[in-house]
Structure 1
Amino acid sequence: MTIAPGSAPAASAPRHPLDPDPVRATKARAVFALGLMAAMTGLLLGGAVPAMVALQLARQARREAYASGGFLTGATWLRRGERLALTGLALVAVSLVALLVIGVVRLAEAPYGQDFAPNVD
């Protein structure tokens, strides 16, 4: 059946009484919280661990939501949490590159070899 643009969709069939009620996946909230923590601590290099955990939980939550047949919701929270986790990982990468550049510059400025007194041949 095709629905014309702008028209209301047809009424869906009544639910079976034994069907479970749609609920938000608890992992979706955990993914969002871990992603937020990763984004907030990303510059301090502490965001890598919660970001990796959030991405793993997001994979599991998506798999469970697909298997539930639409009775687990929370896809929006999962997407937001994944984006925040990826932002946290990007901030960790930026911090590592900045630390590496600072280390190389300091190493280049350090004197090379032994520094003898001016009267030593």
Structure 2
Amino acid sequence: MMGDMTTAPGPVPVAPQPPRHPLDPEPVRSTKARAVFALGLVGALTGLFVGGVVPATLALQLARQARREAYASGGFLTGAAWLRRGERLAWAGLVLVAVTLVAAVVTGLVRLAEAPTGQDFAPNID
């Protein structure tokens, strides 16, 4: 009985995918995810120069919008990995800005404390 049955060579599909509706859009990468990554990278690279605060802040705001759009798209917008990387870079840029500002304030306070105050008279004058 079983001798006359043949199987086709090749891998057997594990679970057949349900057919997609013809009007469903193709999944595409979010362009905002690319922008978040680019802004986060610029923020991280310029963080020590305090100029990174602007692109890093823009990256975090854009990431919030991109997450909302990706959720609303029902899975047809991809790029979550780029979004996460961009957010991490943006936060790193903001940390670098904070470190630079704290170092500048401490340096300024130390120099202010070392500076002489009042008028400096000669040693033989009361």
**Structure 2 length as normaliser, TM-score?**
0.86
Aligned alpha-carbon RMSD (Å): 1.2
Please tell me whether residue 100 in structure 1 is matched to residue 122 in structure 2.
no
Alignment correspondent of 1:16 = 21
Alignment correspondent of 1:114 = 119
Structure 2: distance between partners of 1:12 and 1:70: 16
Which is greater in Rg?
A: 2
Residue ranges of structure 2 left out of the alignment (5+ in a row)? 1-12
* Gap change, CA 1:9 and 1:65, over 3 Å in 2: farther
Paired amino acid for 1:31: V
After superposing on structure 2, the runs of 4+ consecutive aligned residues of structure 1 that deviate more than 6 Å are none
Deviations 1:72-118 (Å, cap 9, x if unpaired)? 00000000000000000000000001101110110011002221233
What fraction of aligned residue pairs are identical, expressed as a percent?
77
SS across alignment from 1:115: coil
Structure 2: distance between partners of 1:21 and 1:73: 10
Q: What is the count of residue pairs matched by the alignment? A: 114
Q: Which moved more, 1:107-116 or 1:19-28?
A: 107-116
Paired amino acid for 1:10: A
Alignment correspondent of 2:74 = 69
